[in-house]
Amino acid sequence: MLRWIGVITCALALLSCRQDFDITSAYIEIPVVYGLLDRADTTHYVRIQRAFVDTNTSALTIAPIFDSIYYRDVLDVTITDDSTDKVFRLERVVGDTIGLPKEPGLFNNDANVLYRFEAPLDIQRSYTLEVHHREKGWTIQSQTTVVGPVVSIVPNAQYVVNWKGELDELIGLAWRRADNAMVYDLQAYFDYWEYPKDNRQDSTLYSIPFTILQASVANLIAPDFIITHSYAPRAFYQELGAQIPFDTTVVRRAKQVRFVLSAGGEALGMWVANQQVQQGVTAGNNLEVYTNIEGGTGLFSSRSTVTFYNAIGGTLRDSLRLGQFTNTLGFLP
């Protein structure tokens, strides 16, 4: 799911550089919202920024300016529980001061302005986001349901990763469809220890990410209660061989494989489907980007994630030592 966050954030940021607006207007401001609620969290964050088009100034000049992408403290932001009418007023915070810095890039990163509230969420309810600009008078809003817990069948907490990496090997993975979910993502991480050959007490823990399933949109016409996916572990060994550097001064020992299974809500699924269409047969047709923000642009949806920390079996350890892609990397039994 973290990859969804990064991709969506980049896409929304690029709205700030669009040039397909009415050129008779010297400056156009569009509120941009990004938020994914998660029932497993008690503190929730929403990003609210400004997209801009200025026909008199280059976007590259405007992007690094703080006031060009962030609003001053002029927004009233609320989220309402639609079942109880309880209103949560979001606090404006600077992410850098609470351990959530903005990644460096083209756009201003002097601060990371976010809006947050604390509350438990209920999957049986919907929630409405409302943003009101006190000085300009405009209001935008959006609504989302909450994705329920993800129940995985394979992998699960007892699953032992024992992949061979042979040409014809396929691993069957399966999980139950989460309530209110439309799109799924399965990312994994191979964790291993690295030791200097002459000092086995001095170790460093590394992690190699690899993708098993990325942004798969579920079938809404004939939804299945069980979702299945086949994975060829040979790709796992190829990824390790490509990412782990050859180094004759170290030895390595596998620790575990972490699986992160994420489910995204309907709006997130619609956004992903829209992106897939634009990158497919209609690529280059400049279709309208999906948004569920009334009066602005962006995305307000929900997600749910489950993580498993799985042991590694003897077969996988042997394949690391002897396999085509990893036999030069110094893995121990």
Residue 204 and residue 313 share a domain: yes
Question: Is residue 6 pLDDT above 60, yes or no?
Answer: no
Under the banding of pLDDT at 50, 70 and 90, the label for residue 222 is: low
Q: Is residue 333 part of a domain?
A: no
Residue whose entry in the numeric block shows the structure tokens 């989302």: 144
Residue where a domain terminates, one of 90, 120, 146: 146
Q: Is residue 205 part of a domain?
A: yes
Q: What is the mean pLDDT of residues 88-93?
A: 97
Q: What is the mean pLDDT of residues 183-190?
A: 96
pLDDT at 105: 41
* pTM confidence score: 0.82
Q: Is residue 285 part of a domain?
A: no
The answer to whether the CB of 182 falls within 8 A of the CB of 266 is yes
Residue 160 and residue 67 share a domain: no
pLDDT at 281: 53
Could you read off the pLDDT of 38-57 as tens digits, one per residue?
999 999 999 999 876 544 44
Q: CATH number for the domain including 112?
A: 2.60.40
Question: Is residue 297 pLDDT above 50, yes or no?
Answer: yes
Could you read off the pLDDT of 97-149 as tens digits, one per residue?
777 665 544 344 557 899 999 999 999 999 999 999 999 999 999 999 999 99
Which range among 96-105, 238-247, 320-329 shows the weakest confidence by mean pLDDT?
Answer: 96-105
Residue 172 and residue 317 share a domain: yes
The tokens describing 16, both together, are 């700030």
pLDDT at 274: 87
Residue 118 and residue 33 share a domain: yes
Residue where a domain terminates, one of 98, 117, 146: 146
- In angstroms, the first-to-last Cα distance of the chain is 33
pLDDT at 199: 84
The residues with which 324 forms a beta bridge, in sequence order, are none
Q: Is residue 277 part of a domain?
A: no
Question: Is residue 67 pLDDT above 80, yes or no?
Answer: no
Residue 156 and residue 130 share a domain: no
Of 22 and 291, the structure prediction assigns the larger pLDDT to 291
Question: Is residue 208 pLDDT above 80, yes or no?
Answer: yes
Q: What is the mean pLDDT of residues 176-191?
A: 95
Residue 128 and residue 259 share a domain: no
Nearest to 44 by CA among 327, 303, 325, 324: 303
Residue 72 and residue 35 share a domain: yes
> Total structural domains in the chain?
2
pLDDT at 98: 75
Of 301 and 97, the structure prediction assigns the larger pLDDT to 301
pLDDT at 218: 82
Residue 314 and residue 182 share a domain: yes
Could you read off the pLDDT of 53-64 as tens digits, one per residue?
544 444 444 444
Could you read off the pLDDT of 10-21 as tens digits, one per residue?
444 444 444 343
Range of the domain at 316: 151-263+306-322
Q: What is the mean pLDDT of residues 80-100?
A: 90
Q: Is residue 26 part of a domain?
A: yes
Three-class SS state of 83: coil
Residue 163 and residue 139 share a domain: no
Q: Is residue 282 part of a domain?
A: no
Residue 317 and residue 177 share a domain: yes
Q: Is residue 193 part of a domain?
A: yes
Could you read off the pLDDT of 247-265 as tens digits, one per residue?
999 999 999 999 999 999 9
pLDDT at 17: 42
HEC profile of the chain: CHHHHHHHHHHHHHHHHCCCCCCCCCEEEEEEEEEEEECCCCEEEEEEEEEEEECCCCHHHHCCCHHHHCCCCCEEEEEEECCCCCEEECEEEEHHHHCCCCCCCCCCCCCCEEEEEECCCCCCCEEEEEEEECCCCCEEEEEEECCCCCEEEECCCCCCECCCCCCCCCEEEEEECCCCEEEEEEEEEEEEEEEECCCCCCCEEEEEEEEEEEEEECCCCCCCCEEEEEECCHHHHHHHHHHCCCCCCEEEEEEEEEEEEEEEEHHHHHHHHHHHHHCCCCCCCCCCCCCCCECCEEEEEEEEEEEEEECECHHHHHHHHHCCCCCCCCECC
Residue 123 and residue 21 share a domain: yes
Residue 318 and residue 173 share a domain: yes
Q: Is residue 210 part of a domain?
A: yes
The tokens describing 56, both together, are 């008199």
Say how many C-beta atoms besides its own lie within 10 A of residue 288's C-beta.
Answer: 7
Of 96 and 174, the structure prediction assigns the larger pLDDT to 174
Residue where a domain terminates, one of 95, 112, 146: 146
